[in-house]
Amino acid sequence: MSLAQLIDNIIEQGVFSGRNFSAADLARGMPETPSVSQNEGSTVIALDNQYFISLDNEDWSQYPAQ
């Protein structure tokens, strides 16, 4: 989805036609995704200013605050 929006913005701004463009205009309308961190044994996501962790890709629990 993000790639499609970026390509659309590049075409709309005429990047390859030699016209001036701004990076902010190219990023306009890009969808936002929640923060996710994953490695071989765990997944951590941020949702509504809270963090949740899964250690088995099935069960989720709130990540303990410091």
Q: How far is CA 64 from CA 29, 33, 44, 50, 53, in A?
A: 34, 23, 12, 10, 9
**Tens digit of each residue's pLDDT (9 = 90 or more) over 3-54:** 888 999 999 888 888 888 888 888 888 888 778 889 999 999 988 888 999 9
Residue 54 β-bridge partners: 43
pTM beyond 0.75: the answer is no
* 45 and 51 Cβ atoms separated by less than 8 Å: yes
pLDDT for 1 beyond 70: no
